[in-house]
Amino acid sequence: MFDASTRPTTLPNAPGVGYKAQHYTDLTNDPGHVAWLEIHAENYMGAGGRPLAQLRHLSERFAISMHGVGLSIGGEGPLDGDHLARLKHLNNWLQPVVFSEHLAWSTHDGAFLNDLLPLPYTKDTLTRVSDHIDQLQNTIGRQMMLENPSSYLAFAESTWSEPDFLREVSDRTGCGLLLDVNNVFVSATNLDYDPRAYIAEFPLDKVGEIHLGGHDEDEDEHGHVLLIDSHGKPVVDPVWALLDHVLSLSGPRPILIEWDNDVPEWGELHAEAARASKALEQVAV
């Protein structure tokens, strides 16, 4: 039987990568700069087989961060009871170091939409999101971290800035925050604001994990640049520069390289982790 007591219990202030099965051998033979792994919870809710066997083996060596993509924390309806039950079972079995989800919604009238959709930052949204986080944390018996979204539009009815909204949710629920630096850059470009001004507002003291990823560049119907959070390319230089700025304010944090689409060979992914390691080395403890 899997003994979770033998595995790492904290995320190190070091690079991690989103785990993909094609990198299993590389990770077990020579992980290099990679010190921890993230998995998507929904990929491991089955009854068993090779995926869970490999995850069990990796968890004995690497700290694991579990990331949810389908709970619809911001949805108008109640959280899905079956999804919560399976999530609780997986958490109990794996005992990940942290669990995180998105500030977004993806369900409506019983239908699941394969996207992470934005929310207006209002009093009603604050109450709903906080209630859902309380329910989740009580169900799985652990603190969660909430991730800032990538945005392509802003709601006129919003009465909170996004950083202030996230701060208030954290204060009400006790949840931690996951800062996705690429999402900040994507949203700032799409909505025409200064990403450093956003970071200046962000409650960095509540951040337990940082994400980096690639994005695609497109344009809207007016010919303006539109960035799409695709997780299918290397991290661009302006996002690395924004990471350096964040770390200069926050100090070292665990940094994840996300690459979920058009997943590269191990060497290219590891090079991104090595660059994150160098960014951490430049931060005074």
- In angstroms, rounded to a whole number, what is the distance separating the alpha carbons of residues 234 and 265? 12
Spell out the alpha helix ranges (H) of the chain: 24-29, 50-59, 81-94, 123-140, 162-173, 181-191, 195-201, 237-250, 266-281
Rounded (10°) angle between helices 81-94 and 123-140: 50
pLDDT of residue 219: 72
Query: If the chain, 285 residues long, is cut into consecutive pieces of 10 residues, what is the mean pLDDT of each piece?
Result: 59 97 96 97 85 94 94 88 95 95 66 61 95 96 95 87 97 98 96 97 98 88 81 95 98 97 96 98 81
pLDDT of residue 272: 98
| Residue the block writes with tokens 């497109």 | 218
Nearby residues of 152 by Cβ (< 8 Å), 6 or more positions away: 118, 190, 226
pLDDT of residue 2: 41
pLDDT of residue 251: 97
Nearby residues of 97 by Cβ (< 8 Å), 6 or more positions away: 8, 9, 10, 11, 36, 63, 64, 65
pLDDT of residue 152: 81
The residues spanned by each domain of the chain are 8-281
pLDDT of residue 107: 45
Strand, coil or helix: 216:
strand
pLDDT of residue 112: 40
Are the CB atoms for 276 and 257 separated by under 8 Å?
A: yes
CATH number of 8-281: 3.20.20.150
- In angstroms, rounded to a whole number, what is the distance separating the alpha carbons of residues 56 and 48? 11
- In angstroms, rounded to a whole number, what is the distance separating the alpha carbons of residues 34 and 37? 8
